[in-house]
Amino acid sequence: MVRQTKILMTIGPASMDKLDLLLSKVEGVRMNFSHGDHAGHLREIKAVREISKDLPLMLDTAGPEIRITEALKVGKEPVSLKKLKTSVPLSVCGSDTLIVDDGKFRVHVLEDGLVCQKEGTLRRGAKVICHGKDINLPTLTKRDIADIKFGVNEGIDMVALSFVRTPEDVIETNTLLRDLGAEDVAVIVKIEHWKALENLREIIRLSDGVMVARGDLAVEVPYQQVPTLQKKLVKMALEMRRPTIVATQMLHSMMTCPTPTRAELSDIANAVLDGADAVMLSGETSLGQYPVEAVEVMNTMVQEAEKEVRMNLPPRTITEELALSAKTIAEKMGAQLFCETNTGRTARRIAKFRPSVPIYVKTPTPRRARQLRLLWGVQQGLPDKGYVVHVEHLADHPGIKVEYKGPVLARGETYGTGMVVGVVGKGVVRLDGRNKQLPEQALGVLYYGKENDPLLQGCIRKGIPAIIPNQQVENGVPVIVDFDFGMVIQNDNYRYESLLNRFPQLRGPRYPSF
C-alpha cells in the first residue's frame, strides 16, 4: 500500500547513527535551529545528503524567543524579579503570568516578586512566554537571518518561520530569500502565536505551507482550543491549496517507551482524517530512545487512518474543476496521475481533492521536486506501466489526456465499451470477413475486416465488444483489450487457463473487466 500522508522527522543525536534506516521511511528532514550551531547542522546536512539527495531539508528557525540564562528556584514564597535572568530583558508588570518551559511552570508576577504554586527550578535554557502579551522582538531575528544565510549556502529546501505574527513577517522572509538568490526556497509558516490568529488567511496566502506547531500554540492560547484550531488551520490551508504539517508530541511517550499510548495513536489518526499533508516527529527522532520504532508506529497508524479519508471539497475555479475531473477519471480507471509543473501549483490543485491513486510530478528543478515530496499523495519518480491520467499545466495551457505506459500492440475504432482480459484465440477472438459465424465463448473480438461486414454487425447486436485494430495481433498473445480507449495491450502477466480454472464465470458470454 502506498502511503499518501507524509512523515517529517527531526534530525538529532539520537538519529545520526540510524540515518540509513530512518531516511528510507520518511519524506523529509527537519533541523531545529533553536539548538546547536552551524558546525553541528552542517554535519547533519552532509549526513543526509550522503544517503539521499531526494529528501527535502527544512530549516526551522529559533524565532524571537526569550530563554532563562541562570537557573532559578521558585515556589509559593516570593522571589525577587531581579533574580530572573533572561536572554532578553522582560517587560512585565504586576498581574502578568510567565509561562516557562512549555507550560511546566506558571509564574505569577506580583508586587513583591515572583510566585509559583508549583515548587521547582526554572532550568537554564527554558523558554519564557509572557501570557497574552507580545514581545518587542522582530519575528526574523539577527540570529535567524544568519541561520537562513547559512542554510541557503548549504542547499536547504524550506524555511519553517517560527512565531509568525503578521503577513509582513512572511513578506520579509521572502524578500530575504530573494536577495540571497533563493526565491525558490519554500516558506512554511508556523502557527504558534496568538497574534497570527488575527491575520490567519493572509499569512497562509503569502506562504508555501503551514505547520500547526501545537507546543507553543497551547501555551499562547488556552490549551482546550488547540484541537479545534488544528482542524480550522488544516481545513483553511487545504481550501487555499497550501500543504499542512501537524507537529509536536505526536508520539512523545516513545522518547522513553517502545510503544505509544492509545491517545497518541488517536492523535495521529485525527491529523490524517483532518486532511494534513504531513505529520512530524520532533524529540521522538532527535533525542528519543526509540527513533526507528517511532517512525514505524507513525507509518502504520497513518496507513490505517488513510483508509477512512473522505474529502469532499468543492472546486472554486475552473482549474480546480479540471483537477477534480482528472482525479475522478484516474480513480475510476485505477490509473496513476501525472502532472508537469514549474511552481508546484498544478500538483497542489490535484492533491487538494485527495485522490486515492498516486500522483507523480515532473518539475524543472531538483529543489521543487524535493519540496513536493511533502505534498499529500505525491510519489517519487515517474509513472510505471499502466494507465496514466496526464494533467498538463493547469494555469497556463490546461489539458487532460489518458495514456498507457507499456507495450500497445494495436489501436483502432471500437464498438462497445469496457475491458477484456484474455489470450488471442482464447476468449479474445480474431475474425475477418472470411469467417461466417461468431464463436460462442467470445469475450471480445479483434475484427480484421470492414465496418459494414455482417459478422461485425452481429457482434454489436449481441453486445460483444469489438475493435478493428490497425496492426496484426497473432493468436496466443496474452492481451488486455480496452474498448473505451481503442487499445490492444500486451499482458505478459496473464495466465488465461489458470484464471478460467479459478473463475469459471469467465466462460460467460462477456466479461467486460477483470
Active-site residue set: 30, 67, 190, 248
* Contacts with 36 (C-beta within 8 Å, 6 or more apart), sequence order: none
Entry field: residues in the chain? 514
Q: What are 364's three cell numbers?
A: 524543472
Secondary element (H or E) of residue 377: none
Cell 540564562 belongs to 69
**What is the per-residue burial (b if ≥16 Cβ within 10 Å, else e) of 201-224?**
eebbebbbbbbbbbbbbbbbbeee
Ranges of H-type helices in 275-400: 283-286, 291-306, 318-333, 345-351, 366-372
Q: What are the CB-based long-range contacts (under 8 Å, 24+) for 70-73?
A: 70/124, 71/121, 71/122, 71/123, 71/124, 72/121, 72/122, 73/119, 73/120, 73/121, 73/122
Backbone angles phi, psi at 362, to 5 degrees: -115, 125
Which H or E run contains 215? helix 214-220
Give every strand in the sheet of 378-379, ordered side by side: 378-379, 359-362, 336-340, 386-392, 399-405
Question: From CA 230, how far away is CA 160, in angstroms rounded?
Answer: 17
Is 512 within 8 Å of 464 (Cβ atoms)?
no
d(CA 191, CA 501): 59
CA separation, residue 434 to residues 154, 438, 442, 468 (Å)? 72, 11, 17, 15
Query: Can you say whether residue 143 is alpha, beta or left, with left for phi > 0 and alpha for psi between -120 and 50 degrees?
Result: alpha
Spatial CA neighbour of 361 closest among 376, 501, 121: 376
- Closest C-alpha to 444, from 471, 415, 470: 415
